[in-house]
Structure 1
Amino acid sequence: MTQNQQNNRIKTLLEILYISTKLGLTSFGGPVAHLGYFYNEYIQKRKWMDEKNYADLVALCQFLPGPASSQVGIGVGVMRAGIVGGIVSFIGFTLPSVLALIIFALLLQGVNIGDAGWIHGLKIVAVVVVAHAILGMAKNLTPDLKRKALALFALVATLLSQTAFAQVGVILICALIGFVLYKNHQDSQDSNIHFPISKGFAIACLTIFFALLFLLPILREVTSLNWLAMFDSFYRSGSLVFGGGHVVLPLLEREFVPTGWLSKDAFLAGYGAAQAVPGPLFTFAAYLGAVMNGWQGGLLATVAIFLPAFLLILGTLPFWEALRRNPKVKGALMGVNAAVVGILISAFYQPIWVSSILTPIDFAFTAILFSMLMFWKVPPWVIVLIGGLGGALITVFFGNV
């Protein structure tokens, strides 16, 4: 590589870092909104990809487990400047919210957050945000009776058996049913997309992904290392989540709250706070890790929960062109998406609703916040601020009952 080429590459990487950091500081509203921000910045404004290729990349990331918006950002970075470009794009988009949530967790250390009214307000915000997500996803992912039935099956199954294995089983069953029901589904949108990644490197990434998924639980059992147990829990959560950040909530809750690693109040308070920061909701893991083991735990949790997303997007990009044209694969994905809706409704009830809506006043406040978010289109960060303030005022005037 000549000096001029090296200078151009550094300039490109700095540009990616600048743009992705700007997006990481301003992208509120969840994964769907993030994709809109990406489209405006990367496609319309800077022409880094054409619209069809961007749509293909989004489709791939929706197919994979993990944080879809983060994976799209990684993919754009890879297209622009190779693997290093993908890493730089991820750092810029993710680091602002990671730092904010680690600081929030450290500020809560030693505070009896269970009695704080503003914390209860943040828990109510979690109810509002997830309810809003359910309505949007259900409209798009369960438009017909067959997929509504799959969502109902997923809802009932995951309520009756609230384990990570039950969720994986439900997703696999719905994928199989979707494969059978929608195997002749056709899509007229075709385009070619190529990424600067070799198939050999991609296979290595997929091998590492599955090796860690199966070996980490074994290593956890034969050792007594707390950091390894944390890494395993976050890595598995990041590996098994379809549907984005809201669906990771029940996986993380069942990994850490019943085992006593942190309280349910601390868990839901952090989830509410995560709505107030821009960037991917998966950075909620940084808060959890910091609560359990300081800033080092926050960084470890962040690496662990996002590592599967990296390995999967890098491992599948070279094969996506052939895969996406297969109507049977599309049918399986339609079944998976329907299951995601049911799992999300299950998570909405337990643990979110039952731990947050305790009185008629709570329900009334929830209705007000939901109407502001749904009908008056108030930004989510404003809803968080109002929720925290309203929770504090409710506690002052009505007490903790």
Structure 2
Amino acid sequence: MKSSTEAVTVDEAAPRGSAGEVFRAFLKLGLTSFGGPIAHLGYFRDELVTRRKWTDEAGYADLVALCQFLPGPASSQVGFALGLLRGGPLGAFAAWAAFTLPSALLLLLFAFGAAAFEGPLGAGLIHGLKIVAVAVVAQAVWGMARALAPDRERASIALAAVLIVILPAGPIGQISAIVIGGLAGLWLCRRGPAPTTGHLTFAVPKRVGIAALALFFLLLFLLPVISAALSSQGLALFDSFYRAGSLVFGGGHVVLPLLEAEVVRPGWVSEDAFLAGYGAAQAVPGPLFTFAAYLGAVMRPEPDGIAGAAIGLVAIFLPGFLLLIGALPFWDAFRARPLAQAAMRGANAAVVGILGAALYDPVWTSAILSPYDFALALTGFVLLTVWRAPPWSVVALLAASGIGLNLL
């Protein structure tokens, strides 16, 4: 078995590429990767492991396990790491930019055009997109509950998380639910398969990993203090998106309740605009975290527009990448600890409860206003979960149905 130091040493004979090669490969993926993070990981494997052979199956599986363990957007973290492996730091940035920008630009265009959606057609479209959000979040809750809360102990943690989130609404309730879920996991969730070890091949020195982790925590705790002291809306915006990106366990859809607490409750973005943008985000390829570009653009306090979109996009991805860089030198040693695994099982179960609470409020309460709305949402849910329909097709169908209902 390799030691943790050996596990992050790059084979000198391993092929290396240029940042341009990485950008071209990930731009193709950014334009064609529909279907959410699990589908993205399949696209990555086909293109970069099977066809281009940037790494082997064991190394890819190990990388996926790491990124699913950490908070943050798992598919983007995997892409960032593959870019780092192939092209160094510039390759990592190229991978993120190429995979992220296509969907971010599409959502930015939607944000700029959203103000033009007035009258019956526009109102129907916005309502249809809000119904899409119901179907998509219900699918996410269903799938995550089966994977992350399959037994009595974790189902109970998920239920407790719902109650915790409902009582002190907002970020405090969500953070408390994750922390309490992790502590409960130490007690209730110690059973589980032993992790495999020894496949990572990244030359990340421990001092770099420690510096990345230190920066992650410094930004997490100091940004709220600095933004309040300077009364800077730009820093407050960066802080809100950074905090949301720091707490996303279990999948990209979990960012919905976190962002809702950060931007809707303070009045920066209306609830209707928030849910319409989330529905539109299901129709574009690439990572769901690009929803932040839309939110930054439709903010009412400045900075908004392109500046707001850029701030939101960088801030929401940054914590996941800092944690990834920080974890690479220590991953094998850390994940071998049973208590760490138990805590993460409890935290992931709590995430199911957080997303379940968001399914009711604001998603359901804002979108389901009649029996017809319920029928449309149920149709979308069945299409996604049973028929495995592409999300973009469900978005198109329900958006058109929302227009039709509004006209009738």
TM-score bracket relative to the smaller structure: over 0.9
The letter for the 2-side match of 1:273 is: A
CA contact (8 A) 1:113 1:266 kept: no
In 1: Cα distance, 2:195 partner to 2:385 partner: 33
CA contact (8 A) 2:15 2:86 kept: no
Query: For residues 306-334 of structure 1, what are the alpha-carbon distances to aligned partners after superposition, in whole Å with 9 as ceiling and x for unaligned?
Result: 11112111111111121122222111111
Aligned to 1:241, what secondary structure does the other structure show? Answer: coil
Unmatched runs of 5 consecutive residues or more in structure 1: 1-7
Match of 2:57 in 1: 51
Aligned to 1:116, what secondary structure does the other structure show? Answer: helix
CA contact (8 A) 1:154 1:170 kept: yes
Deviation at 1:189, TM superposition (A): 3.2
Counterpart mapping for 1:28-47 below 5 A: 28-47=34-53
In 1: Cα distance, 2:363 partner to 2:357 partner: 9
CA contact (8 A) 1:148 1:338 kept: yes
Deviation at 1:287, TM superposition (A): 0.1
Counterpart mapping for 1:112-261 below 5 A: 112=118, 116-183=123-190, 185-187=192-194, 189-261=196-268
TM-score (norm 2): 0.91
Match of 1:3 in 2: none
Structure 1 residues 329 and 188: CA distance shift in structure 2, 3 A:
closer
Query: For residues 335-381 of structure 1, what are the alpha-carbon distances to aligned partners after superposition, in whole Å with 9 as ceiling and x for unaligned?
Result: 11111111111111111001000100100111222222222221100
The letter for the 2-side match of 1:117 is: G
Match of 1:274 in 2: 281
Aligned to 1:53, what secondary structure does the other structure show? Answer: helix
The letter for the 2-side match of 1:102 is: L
Match of 1:88 in 2: 94
Deviation at 1:255, TM superposition (A): 1.4
Match of 2:77 in 1: 71
Match of 2:359 in 1: 348
In 1: Cα distance, 2:196 partner to 2:235 partner: 44
Deviation at 1:11, TM superposition (A): 5.3
Query: For residues 127-148 of structure 1, what are the alpha-carbon distances to aligned partners after superposition, in whole Å with 9 as ceiling and x for unaligned?
Result: 0011111111111111211111
In 2: Cα distance, 1:183 partner to 1:375 partner: 33
Match of 1:298 in 2: 309
Aligned to 1:307, what secondary structure does the other structure show? Answer: helix
TM-score (norm 1): 0.93
CA contact (8 A) 2:16 2:87 kept: no
The letter for the 2-side match of 1:387 is: L
Deviation at 1:9, TM superposition (A): 9.6
Unmatched runs of 5 consecutive residues or more in structure 2: 1-13
Counterpart mapping for 1:305-384 below 5 A: 305-384=316-395
In 2: Cα distance, 1:52 partner to 1:331 partner: 24
Deviation at 1:386, TM superposition (A): 0.9
The letter for the 1-side match of 2:57 is: E
Deviation at 1:112, TM superposition (A): 4.6
Residue identity (%): 53
Q: Which runs of 4+ in 1 moved over 6 A?
A: none
Structure 1 residues 112 and 256: CA distance shift in structure 2, 3 A:
farther
Structure 1 residues 65 and 18: CA distance shift in structure 2, 3 A:
same
Match of 1:23 in 2: 29
Match of 1:392 in 2: 403
In 2: Cα distance, 1:323 partner to 1:83 partner: 24
Aligned to 1:344, what secondary structure does the other structure show? Answer: helix
In 2: Cα distance, 1:185 partner to 1:375 partner: 29
Structure 1 residues 190 and 222: CA distance shift in structure 2, 3 A:
closer
Deviation at 1:258, TM superposition (A): 2.1
CA contact (8 A) 2:17 2:87 kept: no
Query: For residues 86-117 of structure 1, what are the alpha-carbon distances to aligned partners after superposition, in whole Å with 9 as ceiling and x for unaligned?
Result: 11111111010111111110112365589610
The letter for the 1-side match of 2:234 is: W
Deviation at 1:181, TM superposition (A): 2.8
Deviates more, 1:250-259 or 1:341-350: 250-259
Q: Which of the residues 73, 82, 101 maps onto 2:107?
A: 101
Match of 2:10 in 1: none
The letter for the 1-side match of 2:359 is: F
Deviates more, 1:121-130 or 1:254-263: 254-263
Aligned to 1:148, what secondary structure does the other structure show? Answer: helix
CA contact (8 A) 1:27 1:34 kept: yes
In 1: Cα distance, 2:238 partner to 2:354 partner: 24
Structure 1 residues 189 and 204: CA distance shift in structure 2, 3 A:
closer
Match of 1:263 in 2: 270
In 2: Cα distance, 1:28 partner to 1:289 partner: 23
Deviation at 1:170, TM superposition (A): 1.4
Deviation at 1:302, TM superposition (A): 0.4
Structural RMSD (CA):
1.8
The letter for the 2-side match of 1:79 is: L
Query: For residues 70-93 of structure 1, what are the alpha-carbon distances to aligned partners after superposition, in whole Å with 9 as ceiling and x for unaligned?
Result: 111111111222222211111111
Aligned length: 390
Deviates more, 1:69-78 or 1:177-186: 177-186
